[in-house]
Amino acid sequence: MRRFPTLSLKFLAPSVAAIALAGCSLPYQEPIAAAPAPVSPSEDDALSLNAFFADYDRASLAMSPESKSYRGIRDADYGRWDDVSDEAAEAEHRFLQGSLVEMMAAYGGENLSEQDRLSYRLFEQMAKRRASLYPFREYGFLFDHRRGAHTNIPAFLINIHRVSNLADAEAYVSRIEGIGPQLDALIAEARERADAGVMPPDWVYPYVIADLEALIAAGDDNAILNDFDAKLAPLTPDLPDGTDAEASEVIALQAMAKEAWNTSALPGYQRLLTEMRRQQTIAPTDDGIWRLPQGEQYYAALLRSYTTTDLTADEIHNIGLREVERIHGEMRAIMNQVGFEGSLQEFFEFTRTDDQFFYTSREEYVADAQAAIDRLGERMPEFFGVLPTDPLTIKPVEAFRERSAGKAFYQRPAPDGSRPGTYYVNLYNLRDMSKNELEALAYHEGLPGHHLQLSIQTQLGDLPAFRRFGGVTAYSEGWGLYSEELGKDMGFYTDPYSDFGRLGMELWRACRLVVDTGIHSKRWTREEAIDYLAENTPNPQGDIVKAIERYITTPGQATAYMIGKLKIMELRARARDELGDDFDIRGFHDAILTSGPVPLSIMEENVMKWVESERGG
């Protein structure tokens, strides 16, 4: 079986991975496959460790045209897709592990600065986490209801591939032409995995098939060609004589894009649809990954990687049960505050169904989310020493993926400032987007959550690129969840129902610990997990079903949020106790954020070093 890394940018979120054509014919160009040899640092260079990391980053980018695009780099690879072959995946693995060996051989001494020692340790731990998952690389689902090339390709072209000149437009056409071969390579691998029993449960396929059918049925009026036309429009000069050579070239590019769609991309999507229909007839009915060979070991490895701890599935499950009980108690206090008479479950039903808690227009939701972020932004200097330098925009999720996308997510800014940070809200069904949760969602994804965290991280220009652009889920999602509660410390959630919404979102993350481990370790069914959330959370049924379906196809990831948040809260309480009146919340936050993403154990070390420096000062 050909194998691919399950956690690669090729198949998942861009925050996890390190990712010009001439003439008129725009031939399809083969993806880049070969990996360079491991980097060998120069021992006579005083800054050789930084040079080592810079060389590693350049070599990594050379293997991933898509990563270059995420960084805002437009060069000769701008019209290409990543190589998704087994050979490329193995070369990437050998390159990373070989680079680790080279680094440890050359820089094992004590003569490194404190920051360089941290970079050394982080690179080592990152390489070891990836190595721990490599034996299970064939276990990933290449196409499911939330991700896969069928939706990732349009999202990438629309949101990442920028067009500022005709060369960029030519590269866009080249990428459209490359969609067919890219899909064919992934179809072949997905077929092999499915025939070996590695495929998502049967309920996934109607979602994927519906997305594909909608894209195919759109014909030339599809999201990709519409986006290309919109990006071409500013390149057409408005001259008195009506046309010129440049305008003619734009018209020619539009025709070439349409031809590339109909001769390469569309047939590729049609072949993918055929394969998804075939797999639907043989798909399993069990939901957890315990059903895979070595499924228990795979899940344990995922939990270690996502949480950066050694917590077992049983321990995480029990932490979840404890936190659910605590949050239920705080919710009952709000229920009493607003004078509701009845049980907590009856209060849940009231908040999930009463019309007063829902918007009737998308525009009103976006306006209120923007207002919430603007109000909080005014108080940021009181709580943070380092502030974001990138603008933040709020956008509804695009129509082509809103049916299957999550309720909210964030896309980081480009390091060159060419792309702002973007907070996406999924307004496909306004009854799934309660007014009560608006503040907490905005604080998590925007300020002081992911936008602050990732803007600071991206602009840490003196740190190695793997720290500026890499990710540790427990760190980043722990910060996002912490930010929701921090909004209360900053004086917001003045409406008790909004504060109830904040608790509801924290409860949601506590329940994730229970249902994720329930599904993948305790062998709960999809229906049992849905029933647990319906009984224990105020979320609407659509929200609940979508969440459980996410946890089934992305095992372990959902556990990182609460585990990370609890660690940050623990460290804040400890620092406050040790420093007393000398505790400065701005310094604490800067100690968390200015290192970039780190495992939780190193986060603790960083905070304790800050405590010692404050005590010494």
pLDDT in tens, 493-537: 999 999 999 999 999 999 999 999 999 999 999 999 999 999 999
Evaluate if residue 241 carries a pLDDT over 90: no
Rounded distance, CA 518 to CA 215, Å?
Answer: 35
Give the pLDDT confidence score for residue 323 in this predicted structure: 98
pTM of the model: 0.87
Evaluate if residue 244 carries a pLDDT over 90: no
Average pLDDT along the chain: 90
Give the pLDDT confidence score for residue 237 in this predicted structure: 63
Give the DSSP H or E segment for 422. Answer: strand 421-425
Which residues fall within 8 angstroms of residue 223, CB to CB, at 6 or more apart? 154, 158, 215, 398, 399, 400
> 181 or 249: which carries more pLDDT confidence?
181
Here the tokens at position 521 are 């370790």
Give the pLDDT confidence score for residue 540 in this predicted structure: 87
List residues bridging with 395 in a β-sheet. 424
Percent with pLDDT over 90 in the chain: 83
| pLDDT 10s digits, 186-207 | 999 999 999 999 999 999 999 9
How many helices (H) does the chain have, and how many strands (E)?
Answer: 24, 3
- As a dihedral over the C-alpha atoms of residue 331, residue 363, residue 413, residue 302, rounded to 10 degrees, the angle is 40
596: left (phi > 0), else alpha (psi -120 to 50), else beta? left
Which residues fall within 8 angstroms of residue 312, CB to CB, at 6 or more apart? 300, 303
Average pLDDT value for residue range 221-238? 89
Distances in whole angstroms, Cα of residue 442 to Cα of each of 117, 143, 377, 450, 451: 36, 29, 11, 10, 10
> 481 or 419: which carries more pLDDT confidence?
481
Confidence of residue 235 (pLDDT cuts 50, 70, 90): confident
Are 317 and 521 in contact by the 8 Å Cβ rule? The answer is: yes
Are 470 and 71 in contact by the 8 Å Cβ rule? The answer is: no
For Cα atoms 542, 544, 546, give the angle at the middle one, nearest 5 degrees: 70
Give the pLDDT confidence score for residue 34 in this predicted structure: 43
Give the pLDDT confidence score for residue 462 in this predicted structure: 85
- Report whether the peptide linkage leading into residue 415 is cis, meaning its omega lies within 30 degrees of zero: no
Helices (H), 281-343: 295-307, 313-337
List residues bridging with 421 in a β-sheet. 392
> 20 or 38: which carries more pLDDT confidence?
38
Pick from 613, 593, 617, 615: nearest CA to 603: 593
Evaluate if residue 311 carries a pLDDT over 90: yes
- Taking each helix axis from N to C terminus, what angle separates 166-195 and 149-159, rounded to the nearest 10 degrees? 160
Evaluate if residue 229 carries a pLDDT over 70: yes
DSSP, collapsed to helix, strand or coil, labels residue 393 as strand
| pLDDT 10s digits, 88-143 | 999 999 999 999 999 999 887 667 888 999 999 999 999 999 999 999 999 999 99
Average pLDDT value for residue range 453-468? 93
Are 407 and 432 in contact by the 8 Å Cβ rule? The answer is: yes
Number of residues written out for the chain: 617
Confidence of residue 617 (pLDDT cuts 50, 70, 90): low
Evaluate if residue 32 carries a pLDDT over 70: no
